[in-house]
Amino acid sequence: MDEALLSGILQTTVAMAVPLLLAALGELLVERAGVVNIGLEGMILVGAFAAMVTSYFTGQPWLGVLAGMAAGVGLSGLLALPVIGFGANQVVCGAALNLLALGATGVAYRGIFGMTGSALMVGGFPSLPLPLLSEVPVLGAAIFQQPLLGYVAFLLVPAVHYWLYRTVWGLAWRMTGEDPYAAAAQGVRVEVVRAAALLACGALAGLAGAYLVLAYTKTFVEGMSAGRGFIALAIVIFGGWSAWGVLGAASLFGFAVALQFHVQALGLAVPYQAALALPYVLTLVVLALSGARWRAPLALGKEYRG
């Protein structure tokens, strides 16, 4: 394989893996607290939309990042109200939230920008090559020439792992996902932990949406989350509810998405439509094969009544 082609595939793999990694880390946090956030897809989408609008009108990508995270937090708060406050079904509420986000962003986009014939572009984050490391053949351009948000995503992996396994709050977080009643008996405020987990998940999902707009496409397209929220759910399962496992799984899915763009350059006798379907087929395979391999938090998806 040509070195330039290999480097291009790796660059695309990393670029595709970053938003999946951010969203999956958020989902990891919330599932470790015992909540399944099916609304992850919608949170990515509203994060992307808020980042686009804010950056477009202010010219400040960092304000776009903050707006994207705030939008994700707002939508996760909307999910927390029925799920944690009233014990509503987590899956049904999350699915409804996805539909709300898809419709609301579409209507808002047309309301603000009208029926534009061409995509509106925004300024985003440039790549920041790391001295010396970025010059390493093949890997340098792929890993060490990231936008700042890309580096943030990878640094969050050890941070989340440390939080969950080396802090008292992380222990309380995991206790809540395993046995919320036992956690409550130890003085843990289960509702507060689960609400905080949902808000953290929303912030990271909104950040994933902001990355899509400000560091990758530099524009917004209706429905541009394109199933990434559901793929992130599969990544958490395939990664064994571990931050390091999530990193590996996100990289694998990023590679699957990257093949969409390079299948013709590789000279593979594969229909382009099959390459487009690969990430979603991989999602189904992962869900089918990972069920017996890893143990989910015991209280995952279960209602808690304190």
Structural domain includes residue 296: no
CA separation for the pair 12, 23 (Å, rounded):
18
Residue 131 banded pLDDT, cuts 50, 70, 90: confident
Residue 102: closest CA among 222, 219, 211: 222
Residue 304, by phi and psi: left (phi above 0), alpha (psi -120 to 50) or beta? Answer: beta
Q: What confidence tens digit (pLDDT) does each residue in 282-303 have?
A: 777 777 776 556 778 888 988 8
Structural domain includes residue 252: yes
How is residue 129 annotated by DSSP?
E
* pLDDT score for 217: 85
In the chain, % of residues over pLDDT 70: 91
Q: What confidence tens digit (pLDDT) does each residue in 161-208 have?
A: 999 999 999 999 999 999 999 999 999 999 999 999 999 999 999 999
Q: What stretches of the chain show up as alpha helix (H) in DSSP?
A: 3-32, 40-58, 61-80, 90-113, 139-143, 148-166, 168-178, 180-185, 190-211, 228-238, 243-262, 272-290
For 248-269, what is the mean pLDDT? 77
For 137-151, what is the mean pLDDT? 83
> pLDDT higher for 72 or 227?
72
Structural domain includes residue 243: yes
Tell me the residue range of the domain where 87 lies.
Answer: 3-113+135-290
Interacting residues of 102 by C-beta distance below 8 A, sequence separation 6+? 42, 45, 222, 223
Residue 114 banded pLDDT, cuts 50, 70, 90: confident
How is residue 226 annotated by DSSP?
T
Structural domain includes residue 198: yes
Q: At what angle do helices 168-178 and 190-211 cross, to 10 degrees?
A: 100
Residues 133, 136, 137, CA angle at the centre, nearest 5°? 160
* pLDDT score for 291: 58
CA separation for the pair 9, 261 (Å, rounded):
8
For 106-131, what is the mean pLDDT? 81
For residue 6, pLDDT over 90 is answered with: no
For residue 271, pLDDT over 80 is answered with: no
Q: What confidence tens digit (pLDDT) does each residue in 198-215 have?
A: 999 999 999 999 999 999
Residue 127 banded pLDDT, cuts 50, 70, 90: confident
Structural domain includes residue 127: no
Structural domain includes residue 123: no
Residue 270 banded pLDDT, cuts 50, 70, 90: low
CATH number of the domain within which 43 lies? 1.10.3470
> pLDDT higher for 77 or 266?
77
**Maximum CA extent, the chain:** 61
What's the total number of domains in the chain? 1
Determine contact, residues 240/294, Cβ cutoff 8 Å: yes
Structural domain includes residue 184: yes
CA separation for the pair 88, 39 (Å, rounded):
14
* pLDDT score for 265: 61
* pLDDT score for 279: 76
For 115-143, what is the mean pLDDT? 77
Span between the terminal Cα atoms of the chain, in Å = 59
In the chain, % of residues over pLDDT 90: 55
Give the mean pLDDT of the chain: 87
CA separation for the pair 290, 273 (Å, rounded):
26
Structural domain includes residue 231: yes
* pLDDT score for 296: 84
Q: How far is CA 219 from the centre of its chain?
A: 18
